Structure formats: C-alpha cells, structure tokens
C-alpha cells in the first residue's frame, strides 16, 4: 500500500485528489494539509511514501518545504503545477530541489480536469514510490570556479571543431543529475547532446536554468544546430532529436514523430543516431530513469565502437534505465553521478577517447 500525503492550499484540490486516490486499491491518502507547516506536524506522526505538493502556498512555499524535506528525510514528491511560462521556472526549481515528477493542474474546470487526469497522477505516484530521492550533493549547489568566467566565453566561431560527441540520456531524477554533471564541466568539454524526458514547454526553461549555473552553454536544441565544444543541446519536449554528420561537423535534427518507448523525445532515437553517425567517436551515458528507454540505443552505440557507461545504482534516483542497459550488455561499465563529469573531461582530454578496459 502506497501512503500518500497531499499538501495544497486549495480545499477543492485536496478533496478531489483524496477521493480519486483513495479509490485505487494500492494507494491510501494518510493525510492532507493546506500549507507545509501544518503538513510537517502531521507527517511526523506517520511519514508518507509519496508527497503530492503544490508550489505556491501560505506561510512556506512548496520549494522551500521540499528542500527542507530533502535535506532532513528525502521523500519522493510530485509537484502540482500549471503549464504556464511563468510557472515553468518555478516547477523546474522544484525538480532541481528533488521532486521526481510533475502533475499538471488546469486553471479552469479544476474538478473535472483532476478527475480526468487522476489515472496519470496514479501512475506517477506508483513510479514515485519506487524512487530513491537524494538531496543535491553539497558540491553541486556551490558555484563552480569556471562559472565566474562564463561571460568571457569565446564566440562559437573561435572554437575548434571536434569529431567527438557525448550523448546523455535520462528520465526520472535526471533534472537534478544533469545539473550535477553539467555544472562541473569546463568550457572546452566535448559537444553534448541530451535527452531528458520532460513535457513540452518545460525544456526551454530547464535549459535556461542550467545555462545560468553552468560554465558551458546549455540551451534547448533547434533544428540544424551544430554540436560544438562547450555546448550542451537539450532535446525539446514533445519532439525527437537525432545526431547527423556533415564532414567533420555534427549537427542535430529536431523532428516530429510517434513516441518511441512511450516517450518523445526518446533516448533510443538519439542514441541510435549517434551510433550511426558518430560510431567510435562517441561517449554514451545512460542515467537515472524509470523504464528501458535508451538501453537498446546504447547497445547500438557499443556495437558501433562507442564508449558506453551506465550510472550506478547507488547514485540513481531510479535504476531502471541503467539496469536495463547493463542487463543487455549495452554499458561497458558503471559510474557514480559524481564520477560522470570526470569521465567526460577525461574523454575530452584524450586524443583517442577513453581507454577501454580489457
């Protein structure tokens, strides 16, 4: 039985969500509160398996509350939000603080909307209950020394071309994990292409947030963007991203298409294109996430001669995607979250890429 606690200042939201969730035989709403301070008092009596948490609330906002929970007793949390441009940044802050999912609330027709989407919320709760959330490592929240010189970064025209590329694929827990990795990379690191499972309208704000705290440039990918050193391109939510090559240069195609492994963008779509067009000139890293998206694509990369790595279980919020990659023999090795930036730097410094173990 999954024990759920709801924190939302709307009595209607609390009432509707409680009714919907209690109707599921595997979920029990053990409590609800209008603000985090009331919630904390109740939660200490019986701690939930999953929190359903609003962002804007009286006395203490949801993000501050989430950071407090993650520091003291990390607990899977799903954020209730609205898909608005203004709200996207707030929601991304919550994801960066440790939330493992986002549930969209409608501004109008709230009762009907929540009832219609209760199935999606139930699925998210079931996923969240299997997560192992972790607070952001202290080193990751400190400003990296290189970030202070970011405004002096050379224009793209002055950067040398590289024939190597790093491909990262992640899902649940990935917003935090990517920040840990990208914040530690120097401006001369290899070009990076990223698929993070995230809804449409969130990826641009997510990339902007990363760009603001990283020494490298991070942005949402546009069709025909060139992959170059010091740049990380994030696949847009709701669209696939593929790597292509023209001569010594790589670029990305952003395209529509049906979901692959239930996802769009799909890690498999990106990894398979990297296998085809970069082959042994690529490093592929599959990171924390539910399901198996990316595992077969990473196997294609390995078969094409790429170096392939899976994030280890100890540092993964959800070990699903890395575990499947290891089961298939797609990943040659595992690496901790804190070790992945060092791995990418090593790959960038070596003229022949990372040496393969025998």
Q: Cα separation of 162 and 171, whole Å?
A: 28
Three-state DSSP at 263 gives: strand
Sequence-separated (6 or more) residues with CB below 8 Å from residue 33: 5, 6, 7, 39, 42
Query: Cα 191 vs. chain centroid, distance in angstroms?
Result: 19
Segments in the chain forming alpha helices (H): 11-22, 36-43, 62-72, 85-97, 110-116, 118-129, 138-141, 174-183, 203-213, 267-277, 295-303, 320-327, 340-349
Q: Tell me the torsion sign for CA atoms 315, 265, 267, 253.
A: negative
Segments in 184-283 forming alpha helices (H): 203-213, 267-277
Q: Cα separation of 137 and 131, whole Å?
A: 17
Cis status of the peptide bond prior to 265, with omega within 30 of 0: yes
Active-site positions?
171, 197, 293
Cβ(238)–Cβ(200) below 8 Å: yes
Sequence-separated (6 or more) residues with CB below 8 Å from residue 242: 252, 253, 255, 269, 270, 273
Q: Which two tokens stand for residue 276?
A: 């085809």
């Amino acid at each position: 039985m999954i024990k759920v606690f709801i924190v939302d200042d709307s009595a209607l939201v609390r009432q509707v969500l409680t009714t919907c969730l209690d109707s599921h035989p595997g979920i029990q709403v053990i409590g609800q509160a209008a603000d985090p301070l009331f919630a904390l008092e109740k939660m200490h009596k019986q701690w939930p398996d999953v929190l359903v948490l609003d962002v804007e609330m009286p006395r203490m906002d949801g993000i501050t509350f989430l950071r407090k929970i993650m520091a003291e007793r990390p607990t899977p949390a799903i954020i209730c939000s609205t898909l608005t441009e203004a709200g996207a940044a707030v929601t991304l802050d919550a994801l960066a603080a440790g939330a493992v999912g986002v549930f969209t609330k409608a501004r109008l027709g709230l009762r009907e909307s929540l009832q219609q989407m209760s199935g999606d919320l139930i699925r998210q709760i079931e996923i969240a209950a299997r997560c192992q959330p972790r607070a952001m490592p202290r080193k990751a929240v400190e400003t990296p020394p290189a970030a202070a010189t970011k405004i002096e970064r050379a224009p793209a025209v002055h950067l040398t071309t590289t024939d190597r590329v790093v491909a990262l694929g992640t899902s649940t827990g990935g917003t935090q994990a990517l920040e840990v990795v990208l914040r530690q990379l120097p401006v001369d690191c290899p070009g990076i292409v990223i698929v993070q499972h995230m809804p449409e309208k969130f990826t641009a704000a997510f990339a902007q947030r990363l760009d603001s705290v990283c020494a490298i440039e991070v942005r949402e990918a546009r069709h025909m963007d060139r992959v170059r050193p010091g740049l990380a391109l994030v696949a847009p939510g709701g669209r696939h991203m593929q790597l292509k090559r023209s001569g010594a240069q790589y670029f990305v195609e952003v395209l529509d298409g049906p979901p692959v492994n239930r996802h769009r963008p799909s890690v498999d779509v990106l990894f398979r294109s990297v296998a085809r067009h970069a082959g042994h000139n690529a490093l592929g890293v599959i990171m924390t996430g539910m399901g198996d998206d990316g595992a077969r694509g990473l196997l294609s990369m390995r078969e094409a001669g790429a170096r392939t790595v899976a994030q280890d279980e100890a540092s993964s919020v959800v070990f699903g995607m890395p575990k499947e990659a290891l089961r298939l023999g797609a990943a040659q090795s595992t690496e901790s979250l804190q070790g992945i930036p060092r791995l990418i730097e090593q790959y960038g410094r070596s003229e022949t890429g990372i040496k393969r173990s025998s």
